[in-house]
Structure 1
Amino acid sequence: MSQVTVVEVPQWQGSGSATAERLVEGAGLLAAMVPNAALRQRVDIEDGDTPADLAATADRVRAVIAEAREGLVVTVGGDCGVELAPVSAAIDRYGERLALVWFDAHGDLNTPASSPSGAFHGMILRALTGEGHGELLPGRAISPAMVVLAGARDLDPGERDFIVAAGITHATVADLADPAVLVDAVAATGATAVYVHIDLDVLDPGTFASVGTPAPEGLQSDHLLKLVTALTERFERAGLGITEYEPGRPEDQALLAPLVAALVASAS
């Protein structure tokens, strides 16, 4: 098992949720759920009494990751936009050997022009492919062919069009019943390393509801763990991100704590 660095990014400004400020508490709770971390770093999201802009926060995350020790970096949010710097670092390190598996109820594939909400957490995956706000793009984009969207079920029309046009692999909840389908989808990209992003709204809100934008008919927590474990048993682990926890119900925290610990263990 490799050593683990936890990077806590309590960013809420990129979320379109009406209760987004709960993400600050959620990030702290997620970070505390990661056991036996060799290093823990909390990224400041404010400039004095003023919330920092998203680009400034991304720069701070980038600096923390650059100083991280060898081993697995686990980034906990905060909204999905906190993944800009961690995924960028993985792209820089692994290049064309990297696949990005994006567990999310939503596509996060809008541009500023197509987004219904204007919220960056709905644009972050598109940004990682090289399209979006100039200050919120990676230094090196990932090819859409190396992206696997997993568990998405609430997609905007523009996102559906982009998935088809760009050739993004979309594994639905039904597809994911067999973990081999996901492993095969990543293998088909030619990747040898995988970065796993988890927006907790990929889970079914009937069993986990502490998210800002729930969508019905999602994954169960034990099956999510099976899927991630299947990936990390086959591919080199390039990083793990866990995002969008808005604490609300005690039973959700009770479900999440062992899940986070198991996810990190499977990836490290």
Structure 2
Amino acid sequence: MTEPGRSNGSHTVLVIPQWQGSAAHNPQRLTEGAHRLSTLLPAARRTVVDIDPRPGQDQDGVRHLDMLTHSLEATRAALGQSGDDTLIAVGGDCGIELAPVARVVARHGDSLAVVWFDAHADLNTPDTSPTGGFHGMVLRTLLGQGPSQLLPRPEERLSTRKIVLAGARALDPAELDFIDSEGIRTLSVQELREPGQLVSAVAATGATHVYIHLDLDVLDPEHFTSLSCPEPGGLHPDQLRAALHALTKRFNFAGMGITEHAPAADAASSDHVLQRILDGTAFQQRQPVPLV
């Protein structure tokens, strides 16, 4: 077993420029966002998944479902070439997390917790989603409840006991009901201001390894503008950085997904904020730069 805060082997950055899972305005910006994000991360290997950029057909309550199915197959194929490397998946919309999370669940089993940093819970189903955008269904699908074409295999499915929702503040009624019925651990933006509460919540799952899902809309749009689905009242970048540092210091780092980066007019400034957030974690050892 690796020491807490360490990961096995080297890092592979997997760039997945998928936009078809998003229900946001002008979701094609996520393609550029995926490529910009990838340049901020050091890696032993960097692979760009060949994602068809065309829109697809809506089916069974899910937008562009056929294209999402093709993207999933392409991502699985790319993962098959990454060996035992620790993976950092870069999107694109949150739907890119299907194959990466399924992979670490199969690898680590009950020793794994998934911390879902997101303004949204992503726990809808095709029947409850108000938009049909798959990025709002991906976590529910990882639990084994979603479009049949996108379901992970049984050994790849998450348990609600191993999820910590962090910073969610824009939830649909059906998601709230599901969270309550399943007893899913949640931490508000206020609670995340003290990283110790997050570490305690993950420790309570019994996990020794952590996979971090980071939808950038967990950040407050007053401090980070390159967002596809901004929600007020989010984390300050320094608070997010402290939370990531605490997690990667305390637990074995199993991987990470970074999603929903939609470059705005001040994209260079956003890149600067992102670099500052990522500095100092287990997968990023560059010297920090001042946060403006």
Identify whether the pair has TM-score above 0.5, normalized to the shorter chain. yes
**Alignment correspondent of 1:45:** 51
**Alignment correspondent of 1:214:** 230
Tell me if 1:265 matches 2:289: no
Partners of 1:185 and 1:142 in 2: CA distance: 17
Range moving further from structure 2, 247-256 or 187-196: 247-256
Tell me if 1:70 matches 2:88: no
**Alignment correspondent of 1:236:** 252
**Alignment correspondent of 1:254:** 272
Secondary structure at 1:53 match in 2: helix
Query: How many residues of Structure 1 are paired with residues of Structure 2 in the alignment?
Result: 264
**Alignment correspondent of 2:221:** 205
> How far has the Cα of 1:258 moved from its partner?
3.4
* Pairing partner for 1:82 from 80, 96, 105: 96
**Alignment correspondent of 2:192:** 176
**Alignment correspondent of 2:20:** 13
Partners of 1:192 and 1:137 in 2: CA distance: 26
Q: Which runs of 5+ in 1 are unaligned?
A: none
Partners of 1:50 and 1:172 in 2: CA distance: 35
Partners of 2:201 and 2:36 in 1: CA distance: 32
Partners of 2:209 and 2:167 in 1: CA distance: 20
Aligned positions of 1:120-131 closer than 5 A: 120-131=134-145
Higher-helix-fraction structure: 1
Partners of 2:173 and 2:277 in 1: CA distance: 33
- Deviations along 1:42-89, one digit per CA (max 9) or x if unpaired, are 001118x67671112112111212221433211000000000000000
Tell me if 1:93 matches 2:107: yes
Moved over 3 A (4+): 49-52, 260-264
**Alignment correspondent of 2:133:** 119
Secondary structure at 2:189 match in 1: coil
Partners of 1:217 and 1:31 in 2: CA distance: 27
> How far has the Cα of 1:178 moved from its partner?
1.1
